[in-house]
Structure 1
Amino acid sequence: MSDPTRIKAVLFDKDGTLFDFRATWDVWTHQVLVDLAKGRDDVLKAMAHDARFDLDTRKMQPDSPIIAGTQAEATSILLRHLPEWTFDTLIRHLDERVAVAPLVPATPLPELLGQLQDMGIATGVMTNDSEAGALAHLKAAGVHEMFDFVAGYDSGYGAKPDPDPLLAFAQQIGCPPEQTAMIGDSRHDLMAARAAGMVSVGVLTGVAGTDELSDLADVILDHIGHLPDWLRSDPNEKAHF
């Protein structure tokens, strides 16, 4: 593992990393599926099945293709059961609903980002959500101006697990990949980090647990609030904060 004292930049995933996935997106997904079904129980069950969303527990399953997928991929999955919608109208509708989702930060974000700024760490966000959705959420949290880079799947760099958007961040801020950490809650995030030659940092505020992330993560944090302490730590002292 690279020495965290040498890390000069961190790139965050958004959902499940900056924002707690369960507290935010399980609630949102259930409401959106119910609204789209319009009382059609068979349609609701079919969409939930394909999205791997448990209607009884109202939770996304760890193998859901929506968790790490792009908004376009999520739209395609739901569209199979909604013939009254076109792809363009449905993705616009979902984008509008995403923009006003009730976000629950994984930790107080202004304080965390302020600490990283004080440490001289450059920061960015790379999400498989849309860029507009990411900016709307960061603005709602009052932190959009604290990031040096914000990109979505539609920003022209590609989507995770492709390493290109991660490398675009490193290039834009002038930081070598080996001195950059990718922080994420999914295997897609950590696969992208490995492919880009970055330090891979897993967090447990998504739906994946330690077992799902450990083979790809250089370190696992309970949540991003532990990031400053880890950056200041002996890299060989602990594997889990």
Structure 2
Amino acid sequence: MIDTNDIAGILFDKDGTLLDFDASWAPVNRTVALLAADGDAGLADRLLQACGMDPETGHLVPDSLLAAGNTREIAEGLAAAGSPFSAEALVPQIDALFAGAAEQSVPVAELAPLFAKLHGRGLKLGIASSDNEKSIRVTIDRFGIGPYVDFVAGYDSGHGTKPQPGMVLGFCAATGLAPSQVAVVGDNNHDLHMGRNAGAGLKVAVLTGTGSRQSLQEACDVLLNDITELEAVLG
């Protein structure tokens, strides 16, 4: 049994962890690919496949670019796979699409009550995503969790990118916690490896995103169906 008594803060991933990945992002990924293909549907399908998404089923390969990459990594992957646009040209357009998509995202559960409960227990709460910071803040406002969030980091916030440890260390700097007091919660190995690289006290995987039980179990301390089971883990 893992001792969670020292956990005083939780750093959540966003997509696939707080938000249902397939419901929120499958249509967006198709739009991104069509944009990068300059409207060529056949090329768009090839770009999706190159970045980890089956264009027919929508299935995402765990830890692929569209499953775990940040905007720049996705843009570079699209350019390398045959987009007529450069990564530099694609980044601002993809960021804008992602920020707009946050308004249509689907949560895995009622977020405000859960965040209120966790906050009420004295836990510091943060969100660290490979998405841009603007998208994260749109999500926070949309679901009314702003009063409970102590830290926000996107790939463009200056803390580095996953799986580097910077977002966890930034959360610690903002809250006064040690890494050993932080639980990192995510749906793919970029999240879990970020927690490991930072020395996080607890690495929690959830099955609401792009990772599978098989792809996640080696890197996590706890594997949950979704974030609603987190309270029971913390005791």
Correspondence for 1:47? 47
Q: Residues 185-223 of structure 1, C-alpha deviation per residue, up to 9 Å, x if partnerless?
A: 111111111121111011111121111111111111111
Q: CA deviation at 1:86?
A: 4.3
Correspondence for 1:221? 224
Supply the RMSD in Å over aligned alpha carbons. Answer: 1.8
Correspondence for 1:24? 24
Q: How does 1:68-147 map to 2 (within 5 A)?
A: 68-80=68-80, 81-83=82-84, 85-101=85-101, 102-147=104-149
After TM superposition, the structure 1 stretch with the greater mean CA deviation from structure 2, 192-201 or 30-39, is 30-39
Structure 2 length-normalised TM: 0.91
C-alpha distance in 2, partners of 1:32/1:206? 19
CA contact (8 A) 1:185 1:208 kept: yes
Correspondence for 1:62? 62
CA contact (8 A) 2:136 2:152 kept: yes
**Number of aligned residues:** 231
After TM superposition, the structure 1 stretch with the greater mean CA deviation from structure 2, 60-69 or 103-112, is 60-69
Q: CA deviation at 1:37?
A: 3.4
Distance of aligned partners of 1:38 and 1:165 in 2 relative to their CA distance in 1, 3 Å threshold:
closer
C-alpha distance in 2, partners of 1:130/1:56? 27
C-alpha distance in 1, partners of 2:194/2:210? 18
Distance of aligned partners of 1:76 and 1:116 in 2 relative to their CA distance in 1, 3 Å threshold:
same
Q: Residues 110-134 of structure 1, C-alpha deviation per residue, up to 9 Å, x if partnerless?
A: 0110000111110001111111222
Structure 1 length-normalised TM: 0.89
CA contact (8 A) 1:33 1:44 kept: yes
Q: Identity over the aligned pairs, expressed in percent?
A: 35
Out of 163, 166, 169, the residue aligned to residue 165 of structure 2 is 163
Q: Residues 120-154 of structure 1, C-alpha deviation per residue, up to 9 Å, x if partnerless?
A: 11000111111122212222222234210001111
Q: Residues 58-109 of structure 1, C-alpha deviation per residue, up to 9 Å, x if partnerless?
A: 23222522221111111112234332x3434421111111112121111111
Correspondence for 2:194? 192
C-alpha distance in 2, partners of 1:39/1:147? 39
Partner SS state of residue 62, structure 2: coil
Q: Residues 3-45 of structure 1, C-alpha deviation per residue, up to 9 Å, x if partnerless?
A: 2122110000111111111111122212332354355243123
> Where does structure 2 lack aligned partners over 5 or more consecutive residues?
none
Partner SS state of residue 150, structure 1: strand
Q: Which amino acid aligns with 2:210?
A: V
> Where does structure 1 lack aligned partners over 5 or more consecutive residues?
233-241
